[in-house]
Structure 1
Amino acid sequence: MINRRTLLGSALAAPFLSLLPRQARAAQWPAAGPIRLVVAQGGGGNADVVARILVEALEPVLGQRIVVENNGTASGMRATEDVSKAEPDGYTLLVGTSSQLVHNIALFDPLPVDIESTLRGVAMINEVPMVMCVPKDSPDTDLAGLTERVLADPAAFQYGSGPTGTTTHITGALFLQRIGAEDVVHIPYPRSPEAMVDLIAGRLNFVFDPSLTAIGQVQGDAVRPLGVSAPVRLPALAEVPTMEEAGLPGFVSQTWNTISAPADTPQEIVDTLNTMINEIVQSDEMRTRLEDLASIVPPAKTPAEVDAYYAEQRETWIPVVRGTGARREG
């Protein structure tokens, strides 16, 4: 249990811990103080929800407090920079997603920090497909109907997303590219839940929302789902067809949640976190919780396998993001 005396002792010891060799600091981890878990988006989004679910289970196992910090500024780039430049001591971690660790590499010119060399993978949590949603009173009851109407007058339609370059935006841009309707108006919001609010109010024609946050609106009959961008149907949304089943062959797009750390974080700390997080995520209780939120829990990965996953995702998606023409200044 962490009490006032423990926290006071940690605070007094902190300036001196920085003078110790990295191996010695690693041996004392995580006793020196709370761990910062940085989320590169505002509250209520996919990564924020998953971060808080994980923290609830990880804190008792780790025996240390974990503070979730949200910073969605500049499509999450400021948060990514923060962790990239942090002391590699195991006390600053990032919820790494496709938007921050893949899309931003293609989106920013110049890139404020070399994401590939300054961050390393720690553990895999889950994968989250997008759900294409329209207002519940929309005349569009299926993807074919929406596509037909959009193609007839693209400029009369608008779709919303989270910040420019995030998976909610890129999935929408890719959809419009596929059907040949790139004149549809894109409205980016500071947070993707805000786009969903406007969709429900009828101010947008469609959004691609992460399944983990869309499921509540779908089950509450606040929106109408037309398709899910997963290779197979999601058990928690079994009535919703895949985008391929709905008429768009091979259309798969999803974000994912991982834990990342500064590149020079000691291997023993990374391995300890990896073991703890894998055991939590692969437990029956946590797997059920995440799958009930319409996300996918892949097999556990080692830190090296998480890095290989990042590399594979970058090879696939960086050209796609660049192909949409989306850009941001660093």
Structure 2
Amino acid sequence: MIHRRALLGSALAAPFISLLPRAACASTWPSAGPIRLVVAQGGGGNADVVARILVEALEPVLGQSIVVENNGTASGMRATEDVSTAAPDGYTLLVGTSSQLVHNIALFDPLPVDIETTLRGVAMINKVPMVMCVPKDSPDADLAALTARILANPSGFQFGSGPAGTTTHISGALFLQRIGAEGVVHIPYPRSPEAMVDLVAGRLNFVFDPSLTAIGQVQGDAVRPMGVSAPVRLPALADVPTMAEAGLPGFVSQTWNTISAPAGTPDDIVMTLNDRINEIVQSDAMRSQLESLASIVPPAKTPEQVDSYYALQRETWIPVVRGTGVRRDG
């Protein structure tokens, strides 16, 4: 009888015991070891630059090292899968951008992982418009002149971007759709900085590059900016007109950088991250640094507001991306 009672007690206790590791993990986080911050692109790109700026400020606040891991395979889908299927313990996070959390939903058929249910928003960092750039010795003084030449001979033009389906690609495809040009050659690169290298060398006719990485080339007179795809001019690029001012009304296209986590990550961990990241990003020093890189720092968002932002972006952009006809396989 005693033996049976002991077995019964053990059986009843087992489910509660199984919960202890996660509860203990949540209460002691992040003391168990380094945090992985997965970036769904190669080094030197917009999200990578922002991730490393954030990590430098966040590590001392959390008292734990943060390891940035770059994986741009399959337009960032492999990185998104990695985080979606990771243990929801706060030790694996994603730098979530428009390319990975919105565009890929429209691009991949079938979608390898249900991004909308396997990830949750943690915090907003910044927004990054695109800058349309041409070689510095381009014969086109403005967007109207470039558009006229493209329409006269579409097949004679080449534009470059990061991997297919990323914001740099979708922005270019949307531009061509808006002006009614068919036949322009698209050349995707493993990393968007590589497209900029070829533009500077005169091997491409135009690129849409994130303002955060394009600003160095623009300020160094290595390229000529045609316009920035933001609603208003950027203070750091005050001389560059918006695409609307340049002659393409309503053309707004931007990526953004957020932090996402596996869907089951405990609320207390998510809230701790949200509080710390918001404090850092909204500080005068960080805001100044990000704005000097021609990006926009929006007001702080709660995790729930980040999720709502994802939902609104998907509602707005998935039909646009599908309308470009761009597709990817697995």
Same fold (TM over 0.5): yes
Whether the 8 Å contact between 1:147 and 1:179 is mirrored in structure 2 is yes
Aligned 1:61-76 pairs, distance under 5 A: 61-76=61-76
Q: How many residues align?
A: 314
Letter in 1 for 2:128: V
Residue in 2 aligned with 1:177? Answer: 177
1:141 is displaced (CA, Å) by 1.4
Whether the 8 Å contact between 1:173 and 1:182 is mirrored in structure 2 is no
Q: Relative to structure 1, is the Cα distance of residues 254 and 18 closer, same or farther in structure 2, using a 3 angstrom cutoff?
A: farther
1:25 is displaced (CA, Å) by 1.3
Give the unaligned 5+ runs of structure 2: 1-16
State how far apart, in whole Å, the 1-side matches of 2:137 and 2:61 are.
47
Letter in 2 for 1:237: L
1:19 is displaced (CA, Å) by 7.4
Letter in 2 for 1:243: M
Whether the 8 Å contact between 1:144 and 1:246 is mirrored in structure 2 is yes
Give the unaligned 5+ runs of structure 1: 1-16
Q: Relative to structure 1, is the Cα distance of residues 33 and 19 closer, same or farther in structure 2, using a 3 angstrom cutoff?
A: farther
Residue in 1 aligned with 2:20? Answer: 20
Residue in 1 aligned with 2:252? Answer: 252
Residue in 2 aligned with 1:240? Answer: 240
1:18 is displaced (CA, Å) by 9.1
State how far apart, in whole Å, the 1-side matches of 2:186 and 2:146 are.
16
Q: Percent identity?
A: 87
State how far apart, in whole Å, the 1-side matches of 2:156 and 2:133 are.
18
Residue in 2 aligned with 1:229? Answer: 229
Q: Relative to structure 1, is the Cα distance of residues 111 and 253 closer, same or farther in structure 2, using a 3 angstrom cutoff?
A: same
Residue in 2 aligned with 1:144? Answer: 144
Bigger-Rg structure (1/2): 2
Residue in 2 aligned with 1:117? Answer: 117
Whether the 8 Å contact between 1:123 and 1:260 is mirrored in structure 2 is yes
Letter in 1 for 2:259: I
Aligned 1:1-330 pairs, distance under 5 A: 20-330=20-330
1:287 is displaced (CA, Å) by 0.1
Which secondary structure state, in structure 1, belongs to the residue aligned with residue 20 of structure 2? coil
1:20 is displaced (CA, Å) by 3.4
1:29 is displaced (CA, Å) by 0.5
1:296 is displaced (CA, Å) by 0.1
Q: Per-residue displacement from partner, 1:250-275 (whole Å, max 9, x unpaired)? A: 00000000000000000000000000
Off by >3 Å, runs of 4+ in structure 1: 17-21
Letter in 2 for 1:65: S
State how far apart, in whole Å, the 2-side matches of 1:66 and 1:21 are.
22
User: CA RMSD, aligned part only?
Assistant: 1.0
Letter in 2 for 1:118: T
State how far apart, in whole Å, the 2-side matches of 1:184 and 1:133 are.
16
Letter in 1 for 2:268: E
State how far apart, in whole Å, the 2-side matches of 1:20 and 1:236 are.
50
1:140 is displaced (CA, Å) by 1.0
Letter in 1 for 2:82: D
State how far apart, in whole Å, the 2-side matches of 1:135 and 1:240 are.
15
1:23 is displaced (CA, Å) by 2.1
State how far apart, in whole Å, the 2-side matches of 1:136 and 1:89 are.
49
